[in-house]
Amino acid sequence: MILQKAYLNNKGNIRMKYKIFVDGQFGTTGLKIHEMLKDRNELEILTINEEDKKDLEIKKKFLNEADLVFLCLPDEASKESVKLITNNTTKVIDASTAHRTNPDWTYGIAELNKTQREKIKNSKRVCVPGCHASGFIMAMKPLIENNIVSKKQKIVCHSITGYSGGGKGLIDIYEAPENKDKYKSQRPYALGLSHKHLPEMKYILGLDSAPFFTPSVGNFAQGMLVMSYLIKEELEKNVSKAEVLSLYKEYYKNEEFVKIIEDDIKYLDEGFLDAMKCNNTNRIEISVYESDDYMLVISRLDNLGKGASGAAVQNMNIMLGLEEKAGLKA
């Protein structure tokens, strides 16, 4: 048994530390979570030796001793780790796509609606949203809830992400010295039009069909822009950019990690939008652009922050009853 340690909280009271285990601690997301939690005095991080990470008995011990587990694994491995948990107390946050459309799991966007934060707080099984999905869902949810975008509407979405989103394998490719001059352009991928985030985009928003979505990877490590394209004549209501911004401000009022952009001139860099300006934060920024016929909504976020590890830590804070923004930068 792993003995539980204590700490002194900010009110001078002695509290037992929460035991946290990151299953998949040696991958990109797992390493980032470890980095974000290492100085949290209310947490005790349980670590497994790299040579033991595939030993199921050792892993099972850690999974069942922890108060909360992060799963930073491929889908099938995440499902197998869940099966190894034999108690009814360990809480689980899964960063894979394995459970995002499973009704028995809670979708981990606290800002999704007025009740989602409470659902996360009371849940023992929470899934971290995909990075592309986070940007798309948080842009479209207020418009759907306010009957501006129909659930029947065909929505077009494009995303630009840093190469860290592809994990260690893609990071190694981009950062290899011999590839220094090889991958300079933005490169679209998932051109079979069946990206793994599409099911959750459709499921969480209740859309009749998934968006027409294409992602691309840029020659930068982290950062993300998710762009959702709307045709005004297809909207359920005739709305202006100003009205949409007002709606977003009301929907996300008092949300620490959501920023609605009202001044394009100050926001843009001589007319350009930098994908990396939210890096190393848990912030998502939503900006709106329009012409007479079209409207564009852009979500900017850190694919490793609000799009992955930051969202995971935010959910952990909620599930354990800790300050929601602890260890996170807005």
Res. 1: pLDDT tops 70: no
Could you please state the CATH topology (level 3) that the domain comprising 131-303 is classified under: Dihydrodipicolinate Reductase; domain 2 (3.30.360)
Res. 166: pLDDT tops 70: yes
State mean pLDDT over 98-113: 98
Q: In what order do the strands lie in the sheet with 224-231?
A: 187-188, 212-218, 156-162, 224-231, 294-301, 284-290, 258-260
pLDDT score for 8? 53
Residue of 72, 127, 131, 278 with catalytic role: 131
Domain ranges of the chain: 6-129+308-319, 131-303
Q: pLDDT digits over 231-253, tens only?
A: 999 999 999 999 999 999 999 99
Q: What top-level class would CATH report for the domain 6-129+308-319?
A: alpha beta
Pairwise CA distance, residues 296 & 227, whole Å: 7
Pairwise CA distance, residues 86 & 89, whole Å: 9
Is 157 one of the catalytic residues? no
Contacts of 326 (CB under 8 A, 6+ apart): 40, 317
Using 50, 70 and 90 to split pLDDT, how confident is the model at 23? very high
Residue 64 host element (H or E) = helix 56-65
Contacts of 199 (CB under 8 A, 6+ apart): 97, 100, 101, 210
pLDDT score for 51? 85
Q: Which residue has the higher pLDDT, 85 or 26?
A: 85
186, 254, 310, 311, 316 from 128: Cα distances, Å: 26, 22, 10, 7, 10
pLDDT score for 165? 92
State mean pLDDT over 86-95: 97
N-to-C CA span, the chain:
37
The share of the chain scoring above pLDDT 90, in percent, equals 89
pLDDT score for 169? 92
Lowest mean pLDDT among 180-189, 195-204, 206-215: 180-189
